[in-house]
Each structure stands twice: as C-alpha cells, then as structure tokens.
Amino acid sequence: MTGVAHLASEAAGEDTLGPLRDHLDPTAFREIVALYETTVRDRADAIARAARTGDFDMVRRSAHDLAGMCGQLGSTRATQLARRIEGACAGGKGHDALALIPELAPAVAETLRALAEIAR
Amino acid sequence: MSEVETRHVLLVEDTLPLAKSYIEFLKSSPYTVEHVETGRKALNALKRGECDVMLLDINLPDMSGLDVLARMAEVGSTCPVVVITAHGSIKLAVDAMRAGAADFLVKPFNAQRLKIALANLFERLAIESARPASRAETRPLQPAQPEAVTGFIGSSPVMQSIYRVIEAAAPSKASVFITGESGTGKELTAEAIHRAGPRRDKPIVALNCAAVPRELMESEIFGHVKGAFSGAVTDRDGAAALADGGTLFLDELCDMHLDLQAKLLRFLQDQSFRPVGGTELKKVDVRFIAATNKEPLEEVAEGRLREDLYYRLHVIPITMPPLRERQEDVIDIAQHFLAAASLEENKSFARLSEEVKAMFRAYNWPGNVRQLQNVIRNIVVMHEGETVTPEMLPAPLDRVAIPRVFKAVG
C-alpha cells in the first residue's frame, strides 16, 4: 500500500487527505501536501536541535505540532511517538523524551515517503 | 432556490498545514474562514465582532485556548466557540466547555465531522434564539405553563428554563440529548418534546438500552425477518419502523454496545436501516432523542460512547436538574403526588404538616423526583389521616432532623 491509501489505513478508518484530494483541484492539493512535507520535516528537525541543547519546552511544542499533523495524515506511528515525547517533556521527564527521539526519525521518514508518493 | 446564509468562521490554529486543511474542509460549505495563528490575534478579531463561530485550538504559542475563552468577555465577544483539542486531552475539552465553549473537536478530524459540528451548533443557536426569553433577559420569568409542557410540576427558575428549551425544541427535527441523574424526568422530557411538536399524532417509541440484552438489541431497534435467528418465527418491526413519522427515544444510550452504536450512527445519518437477516433497505422519518444518567464526555473519553454518535445526537442538549437544586419545587411536587396517591388509594390525605415540609426541603433527595413519589406513596399506603406528619415518614426520611425553628415551636 502506498500514498493516501497507506496513510489512511493507519488512521483506523479516518480518511483525511483522501476527501481533501477529491474536492480540491490537483494544484491546490499538491500545495497542501507540500506544506505538510515542509512543516513535518521542519518540526522533526526542531525537535532534534532542541534536544541537543536541552530546550525541552521547544521539544514539547514541536512534538505537539508534529503529533497534530501526523495525526491528521493518519500516520499512527509518528503520531504516537510525538505524543509520548510531548507528554514526557510536559511531565518534566526530559530523559524519557531523549530516549524516544531516535525512534522518531524513521517514523517521520516513513510519513514523508508516503507524502512524497501522494504528491507525485 | 433557497438562499443559504454564509457564516463567518474565525479559525485560531498555529500549525499551518492543519489550518489549511480545515479551511479546505469548509471550502465548499457556506462558510468564510478567517485564519489567525495566535490568541492575541484571535482576541483582536473578536473585538472587531465579525465572527459567527470561533474554531479555537487549545494549544497556541502565546496563550492557551482556555485563556482566550476567559478573555472573550473583556473584548465584548459572545461568539460561540468550538475548541479543537488533541486526542487524549478530553479533560481540557471538558474544562473548555465549563469555561463557555459550545462544543469541541478532537484531532484528527475529517471534513464531515467539522461540518457536522458547525451545523449542529448553528441549529442549536437558531433554536435558542427562537426562545421567547433569552438567558440574558433579566425580567422575571413567566410562571410554569403546565398546559404547554404537560407532566411537569414546578416553577423554579431552572425548570422554567427547561420548559423553554422543550417548547423551542419541539417544532424542530433536531436531535435532543438529555442528561441528568436517575429520577430527574428524562423520559418525561422526551415525551413532552414529542407531544408539543408536529409529530404528536405519531408514536414515540422508547427503548432502554440498558434493559435489553445485547444480542437482542439490534432486533429491538431494527426489527428482524423470519428465520433471522432461532426464535424469529415471523417478520417483526423494530423500534425504528414503529417510530416512523414520530420519535425514537433511546434511554441509557451510553449502555449500548459499540458495535450497535456504529449501526445506529448510520441510521442517524441516512434514516435507513436493514432489519436483522433482511436485505431490503427500509427508509423512515424519525426524530431522535437520547438520554443518559452518565457524563457523556467521560463516556467518550473512556471509549464507551462513539464520539461521532455523540456529535450527531448532541444537537440540543438538555440537562435535567437534580431535585436538591430545585428545593422550591419539592413541596409542590409532593402535594401533587399526595393528592394523586390519596385518590388512587381511597385515602383522605390532603396536606403536609409544616414540619414535614421543612424536612422535605432539608433532605437532599438522592433518588430525585422518583424517590419523592415513592415516599409519598409509602406514606399514603401505610397510614391514615388528613395531614402527613414526621412520624409517618419512611426511612431514610425518618432520620432527617427537623429544622430547629419547628423544634422550638413544637
């Protein structure tokens, strides 16, 4: 499974980008997918940077954004990891957040790959 | 062609792709969307007053959505608010509802869910604005209108407000969601809505979702065809078919099994269903009223009530007050039950003593009106006389201290 089908299948029946594509012209749809790609990548980078400097408030905020976006895309693994990182930061457990961050990169990469396929 | 009113939505969301998605979700609908990314900008937009509804993310970069809600009064805004919250943050949504939000959406959501939330909200607002007296009105409330809202006794302000919701909701087909403790009159309210509306000549069919065994429930709602299961010896209509043209009252909705909730949701959406074992799709015209003595948001949070079903049904919410919050009605209700029970039991009880009235007012009535009714029935059956005195009270009323003023007098 690839693209929308793959993402939607992880979302327990919640179709998100599918209906959006159905009533958007192709250009507008590609623009919004591109916006997701850019912003998901940006927030994932922000988490990694902030983790290196111990800025856990930034980690928390970026993880919150990332969870919201990946959730809307139906990308379950990235969503859950981002939520756990956000929760760890909010609970003052920076060490737990740091332990989870390495797992985030492959999950985000998976989401970005799926988005790239959708955009093609 | 009917003209559809365009509504102005203020969207407060700092994550740009999400904001763009929500804007696209509403693009083909009668909504114009203004998007801002911070709480401060939202308050400025509210100050300008061009907002029919605000979609408010709880987690904003400069302040929380709860802060925005708290500061709306400062900028003179009464714009209804639907808060957007992350999955697993139902408590925040409940806090937001307590702070004045009209509804909430849990991320992620799709276009349909967003549109339903907004449509429900505007339908509810239209009904509320059609009420004869708004909540903001300060003139004294009119006395109770038992002829209009049959079956109710009580003229307390909280009940006056309930009567007005019933009267306003009755002509509509909008779904009603009644909450309240056991014995507060949820079924009576459902019946009053039905009787006061244009469906009064058609049936109201009540189904208690807690009372029917799970395996029979689908058949109870949708009926079955002959041979659908052992014991199905003939075709049988369910509540959905029996309520055609009328009202389907689903009591204790939160006790309905999740599988069946999914089927009920489909029925709610297109008013059509298949009887158990049948192939033919049946179409009906039914108004839905649901009730529960549980807290529906907690049931959603715990996964026992489908969120989308809650959204579909929660168009006109009515919260029945417990009797302890309408102490001024206790004596009127007791007198009514006393007269009725005396007549039925061929007894001569006509009044409550002042001590009993004081004890009734002081008691907290955990079983609500139903408990009061049972207490009166017990007294009438077990005793003789014209006046109810403290010695006649059954447990646990017999342990209620007589308020001091009457002890001193006695």
- Give the model confidence (pLDDT) of B309-336 as tens digits: 988 888 888 889 999 988 889 999 999 9
pLDDT of amino acid B112 = 80
Q: Tell me if B107 and A68 make a contact (CB, 8 A cut-off).
A: yes
Mean pLDDT value across residues A24-46: 90
Distance from CA of B316 to the nearest CA of A (A): 26
pLDDT in tens, A91-107: 999 999 999 999 999 99
Contact assignment for A14 to B21 by CB distance below 8 Å: no
CA distance B13 to chain A (A): 10
For B137-286, strand residue ranges (E) read 176-179, 204-208, 247-251, 272-273, 282-283
Residues 6+ apart with CB under 8 A from A93: none
Contacts B64 to A, Cβ<8 Å = none
- Confirm whether pTM is higher than 0.80: no
> What was the pLDDT predicted at B214?
79
Q: Is B266 a residue whose pLDDT tops 70? A: yes
Q: Rounded to the nearest 5°, which phi and psi values hold at B35?
A: -110, 130
Average pLDDT value over all residues in chain B:
86
Angle at alpha carbon of residue B322, lines to B209 and B134, rounded to 5°: 100
- For testing contact with chain A, the best of B14, B20, B109 (most A CBs within 10 A): B20
Binary contact (B88, A32; C-beta < 8 A): no
Residue % of chain B over a pLDDT of 70: 90
Residue B131: pLDDT over 70:
no
Say whether pLDDT at B360 is over 50: yes
Using the structure block, give the residue that is written with the tokens 């332990």.
Answer: A99
Q: How far apart are CA A39 and CA A20, in angstroms?
A: 18
Written as one string, the DSSP assignment of A18-74 is: HHHHHTS-HHHHHHHHHHHHHHHHHHHHHHHHHHHHT-HHHHHHHHHHHHHHHHHHT
For A81, the token pair is 């990891």
pLDDT reported for residue B136: 33
Q: Position B271: which residue type? A: Q
Spatial distance between the Cα atoms of A51 and A62, rounded to a whole number of angstroms: 11
The pLDDT score that the predictor gives to residue B213 is: 83
The answer on pLDDT for A17 being more than 80 is: no
Q: Over 80: is that where the pLDDT of A30 sits?
A: yes
Closest CA to A73 of A10, A23, A24, A29: A10
Long-range contacts, stretch B280-284, CB < 8 angstroms, 24+ apart: B282/B240, B282/B241, B284/B240, B284/B241, B284/B243, B284/B244, B284/B245
**Order of strands, edge to edge, in the sheet holding B176-179?**
B204-208, B247-251, B287-292, B176-179, B316-319
CA–CA distance, B330 with B153 (Å, rounded to integer): 9
Q: Which of B96-110, B125-139, B173-187, B315-329 has the lowest mean pLDDT?
A: B125-139
B28 vs A11, A15, A23: nearest CB: A23
Residue B5 confidence (pLDDT): 79
Q: How many beta carbons lie within 10 A of that of residue B316, not counting itself?
A: 22
What b/e sequence results for B56-92 when a residue is b if at least 16 CB atoms lie within 10 Å of its CB, and e otherwise? bbbbbeeebbbebbebbeebebebbbbbbbbbebbeb
> Is B98 buried (19+), middle (13-18) or exposed (0-12) by CB count in 10 A?
exposed
Contacts of A32 in chain B (CB under 8 A): 17, 20-21, 24
CB contact under 8 A, A39 and B88: no
Q: What pLDDT is recorded for position B172?
A: 85
pLDDT tier, B65 (very low <50, low <70, confident <90, very high otherwise): very high
> Who's near A63: CB < 8 A, 6+ residues apart?
A43, A47, A82, A83, A85, A86, A89, A97
Q: Of B309, B187, B312, B296, which Cα lies nearest the Cα of B247?
A: B187
Interface of A with B in 47-66 (CB under 8 A): 61, 64-65
Mean pLDDT of B46-67: 92
Of B21, B88, B107, which has the smallest distance from its Cβ to A20's Cβ? B21
Q: What is the ipTM of this complex?
A: 0.86
Express each pLDDT in B188-219 by its tens digit.
999 999 998 999 999 999 999 988 887 889 99
pLDDT at A56: 95
Give the pLDDT score at A116: 83
> Of A93, A61, A43, A4, nearest to B86 (Cα)?
A61
Q: How far apart are CA A10 and CA A3, in angstroms?
A: 11
Distance of residue B377 Cα from the nearest chain A Cα, in angstroms = 53
For B212, phi then psi, to 5°, come to -95, 130
User: Cα separation of B407 and B410, whole Å?
Assistant: 5
- Contact flag B86-A14 (C-beta cutoff 8 Å): no
d(CA B27, CA B254): 34
DSSP bridge pairs for B139: none
Q: Is A83 on the interface with B (CB under 8 A)?
A: yes
Shortest Cα–Cα distance, B17 to chain A (Å): 5
Tell me how close the Cα of B93 comes to any Cα of chain A, in angstroms: 16
Residue of chain A whose alpha carbon sits nearest to that of B88: A83
The pLDDT of B94-105, averaged and rounded, is: 82
B220 Rama sector, left if φ>0, alpha if ψ -120 to 50, beta otherwise: alpha
Beta bridge partners of B178: B291, B318
> What single-letter amino acid sits at B368?
N
Q: Which residues face B206 on adjacent strands?
A: B249
